[in-house]
């Protein structure tokens, strides 16, 4: 199967139309505007990356309000990224685990954002049909561990998503690692990059790790 692509929500109508025509989904963030823009396929990001870049702690109250908004929408999110702390290791994992049941009340699938300092043994008891993996963390760690976490997901038969995929090269890496889906902001910000990324997303790697959805 072709990897599922989600683009960060944008208010630019031209770019939204291009994304819709390419059959991309929309990634709606707690830290952005809460709009589905008429897309039939959406996913929900917890906004932790935006908090991290702004130098602030994760906004749990804002996330609760975001979940309430999601629950009221006519389209159900494919998945929700559980609250996390960027590069926060096991402290991030403890925060994510607290929200598993809460988020499963809103979406059929939740994703734990794996971060610098987390290992397979930490996630193995937690993953399953409704709990998958979202590859987060610092850029260096993420690139170095992308294939490794793909092997983990294939072994445990769980959903694997790779975040911040904004170039064809990184798209090929995600596909080779067995990602079921990716997200990025490049196609949202610059419609001219969409054809290249969309074409790359249809690449088939015969030696790719195979997990759920791939």
pLDDT in tens, 40-97: 999 999 999 899 889 999 999 999 999 999 999 999 999 999 999 988 899 999 999 9
| Nearest C-alpha neighbor of 39 from the set 79, 1, 6, 81 | 6
Structurally, what CATH architecture does the domain formed by 4-201 represent? Alpha-Beta Barrel (3.20)
DSSP 3-state of 148: helix
Domain ranges of the chain: 4-201
**pTM of the predicted structure, to 2 decimals:** 0.90
d(CA 46, CA 62): 9
Question: Is 90 exceeded by the pLDDT of residue 186?
Answer: no
> φ, ψ for residue 147 (rounded to 5)?
-65, -40
Indicate if the alpha-carbon torsion angle 65, 46, 22, 76 is positive or negative.
negative
Give SS3 for 82: coil
E-only strand ranges, the chain: 4-8, 25-29, 42-45, 80-81, 110-114, 131-135, 160-162, 181-184
Q: Report the half-sphere exposure of 80 (CA within 13 A, side-chain side).
A: 26
pLDDT digits (tens, 9 = 90+) for 104-119: 999 999 999 998 999 9
């Amino acid at each position: 199967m072709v990897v599922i692509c989600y683009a960060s929500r944008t208010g630019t109508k031209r770019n939204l139309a291009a994304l819709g025509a390419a059959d991309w989904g929309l990634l709606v963030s707690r830290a952005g505007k809460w709009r589905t823009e008429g897309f039939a396929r959406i996913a929900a990001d917890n906004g932790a990356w935006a908090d991290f870049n702004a130098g602030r702690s994760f906004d749990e109250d804002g996330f609760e309000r975001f979940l309430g908004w999601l629950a009221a929408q006519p389209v159900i999110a494919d998945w929700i990224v559980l609250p996390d702390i960027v590069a926060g290791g096991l402290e991030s994992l403890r925060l994510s685990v607290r929200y598993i049941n809460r988020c499963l009340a809103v979406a059929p699938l939740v994703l734990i954002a794996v971060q610098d300092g987390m290992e397979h043994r930490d996630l193995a008891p937690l993953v399953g049909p409704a709990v998958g993996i979202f590859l987060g963390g610092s850029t260096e760690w993420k690139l170095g561990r992308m294939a490794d976490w793909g092997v983990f997901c294939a072994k445990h038969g769980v959903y694997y998503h790779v975040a911040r995929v904004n170039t064809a090269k990184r798209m090929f890496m995600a596909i080779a690692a067995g990602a079921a889906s990716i997200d990025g902001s490049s196609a949202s910000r610059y419609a001219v990059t969409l054809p290249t990324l969309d074409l790359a997303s249809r690449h088939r790697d015969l030696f790719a790790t195979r997990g759920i959805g791939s």
